[in-house]
A = this chain, B = another copy of it.
């Protein structure tokens, strides 16, 4: 009897796993963090103490880690690919470059498994609510097998063909908008406060008019908090924007907006905000201008 495993029960993975469990998909799971394993067990998952143990006896595994290096570590160094049943399906949900996705797919194929690229959009909110957007591509057999579990966590699964690089490409290109909109929200809030606007009124106006973006609506309120809960970190967005810039390099597209956004995220990272919520990119503008967007000082 074969099962399904889920490796990486962090800010994104925990919600995804919980939604699969709640829809009747039995899961074995692993995360390096013991608290994450306990939480997973409390939701009804079978928590395992190594990634390979979680994969043991499974013919499908979802991998939700942050980088290509981590994915390769889990699959090959930690023994997940070897522990799976023969001809299993590996669903890689991480945001990584198309070239990394294709390389890992080839490595996985060489040992008899199929890789489905399935990066997601929607953040922790979407993962928790089961309303992610998924950009999936890979062999048809893998798509068919993974689809029910993906649909359990998504409002929409885009099926983008058999090339695993395509799912990665759509996701990385999509991140250009998310990253630029995030930093634009910070730039706008800092300018508004310095120019005499009330930040809450400014938020109300922009979020209900042509200046709105999904990221503005989601992140600007957290920019007004002194200590926002981290749902996705500055470091993760630095990684994502690096992938965007890498794609521009590889395809010959100058990306002045993405580059500017990257540099402001870098400034926030250098200030020590790397592990903090990505909304703290506003601190880079506050530091330079003296604008106070976050509440701690305005209240």
Which of A's residues lie within 8 Å of B, judged by CB? 98, 121-123, 126, 133, 135, 156, 158, 160, 165-166, 169-170, 172-178, 180-181, 183-185, 187-188, 190-192, 194-197, 201-202, 204-206, 208-216, 218, 244, 247-248, 250-261, 263-264, 285, 288-291
Complex formed: what's the CA distance from A255 to B176 in Å?
18
25 CB contacts below 8 A, A to B, read A98-B195, A121-B205, A122-B210, A133-B210, A166-B197, A169-B196, A170-B197, A174-B210, A176-B184, A177-B185, A177-B211, A177-B216, A180-B181, A187-B256, A195-B247, A195-B250, A211-B214, A211-B215, A213-B215, A253-B285, A253-B289, A254-B285, A256-B260, A257-B257, A260-B260
Question: How many copies make up the complex?
Answer: 2
C-alpha gap A28/B3 in the complex (Å): 75
Main SS at interface, chain A: helix
On chain B, the residues within 8 Å of A259 by CB distance are 260
Task: List 19 other contacts, CB 8 Å, given A177-B185, A177-B216, A191-B251.
Answer: A122-B210, A133-B209, A156-B208, A165-B196, A169-B196, A172-B195, A173-B188, A174-B211, A175-B211, A176-B187, A177-B213, A180-B181, A184-B257, A187-B253, A187-B256, A210-B218, A253-B285, A254-B288, A256-B260
Q: Residue on B with the closest CB to A175?
A: B211
